[in-house]
Structure 1
């Protein structure tokens, strides 16, 4: 698994989990969805992604997007 695929999977889990929490627990969990979306948006321009840095330290090999 590359850092890229790990970041995309992690972002997907965060979005789906926050939507489920917003539906069954409290609508304020949608702020987590907004945060994940904003983070993905800024990473597409800057290449800076905190999750990618964590996955790199865990030893995943680089992909095309996050080195």
Structure 2
């Protein structure tokens, strides 16, 4: 369950920031890059902040 939530949140952040960069300001692309960098970092280190947050909220694997 946690894995699906993490993917949903990451995908939503990317799509929302892309829409904000089109309609509001291009600087929102930095947020897209930040999310992508975190996804890359979590694939290398096998640690994800969102996973930790969800665990503290009581979401089960």
Q: Same fold (TM over 0.5)?
A: yes
CA RMSD of aligned residues (A): 0.7
Q: Distance in 1 between matches of 2:4 and 2:59?
A: 10
TM-score normalised by structure 2 residue count: 0.95
Q: Flag structure 2 segments of 5+ consecutive residues without an equivalent.
A: none
TM-score normalised by structure 1 residue count: 0.87
Q: Distance in 2 between matches of 1:6 and 1:55?
A: 9
Report the equivalent of 1:6: 5
Q: Flag structure 1 segments of 5+ consecutive residues without an equivalent.
A: 63-67
Q: Distance in 2 between matches of 1:10 and 1:58?
A: 15
More helix as a share of residues: 2
Structure 2 SS opposite 1:15: helix
Aligned residues: 61
Q: Distance in 2 between matches of 1:60 and 1:5?
A: 11
For residues 9-28 of structure 1, give each alpha carbon's deviation from its aligned partner in whole angstroms, at most 9, with x where no partner exists: 00001000100100000000
